[in-house]
Structure 1
Amino acid sequence: MTSDNSRLKKLKFRAWRRGFREADLILGPFADTHVESFSEAQLDGFERLLDQPDQDLYAWIIGTLPIPPEFDTEIMNRIKAFRFEVHANRGDDLGG
């Protein structure tokens, strides 16, 4: 786990403020739930994902576009699994 609290806050902020509501609703809760337990390498991977265009990232998460090999990581798999958890808990169709 990282001790850099400012980095965690920035990542959470970026995850919630994508500018693409559907992505916000998956990435924000995911960040709130998981980033504090991430290793530095996992934080780096999550940050690389957040650097990608919203439409691409969301399409990878919901499976409408193939995930490029460099982004087909453990973190992406966790985000995709989290999407289904959020959808099941909400009981609506915003999880895609």
Structure 2
Amino acid sequence: MAEAETGLDARRKRLIFRAWHRGTRETDLILGRFADAHVAEFSDADMADFERLLDVPDPDIFVWVTGAGPVPKEDVSPVVERLIAFHHQVR
């Protein structure tokens, strides 16, 4: 268990695990690092948004985060916006 997961409830631990085990290493790094940094402070609404984001295919997330394409209107959320901003801060 990663140090960031210590003391987290089961739902938050599951989100971190899912973020790090996507299928493509690039998306694992994008989502996993974000989850490690932010899941502990997520509200219930943020966790629901992140759970929906984790159901999006890896190539779509990669395109959004790298700026190669826009986030579709139906997928825009505060968590997606935070993810994109986080990625651009930590490059």
TM range (shorter): 0.7 to 0.9
Question: Equivalent of 1:86, from 72, 84, 90?
Answer: 90
Q: Normalising to structure 1: TM-score of the pair?
A: 0.81
Q: Does 1:25 align with 2:29?
A: yes
Structure 2 stretches lacking a partner, 5+ long: 1-7
CA distance in 1, matches of 2:29, 2:56: 17
Q: Distance in 1 between matches of 2:90 and 2:71?
A: 21
Match of 2:59 among 55, 58, 66: 55
1:36-68 per-position Cα deviation (integer Å, ceiling 9, x unaligned): 111101100011000011111111111212211
- Cα distance in 2, alignment partners of residues 74 and 62 from structure 1: 17
Aligned residue-pair number: 84
In angstroms, what is the RMSD of aligned CA positions? 1.2
Q: Does 1:76 align with 2:76?
A: no
State whether structure 2 residue 16 is matched by structure 1 residue 12: yes
TM-score (norm: length of structure 2): 0.85
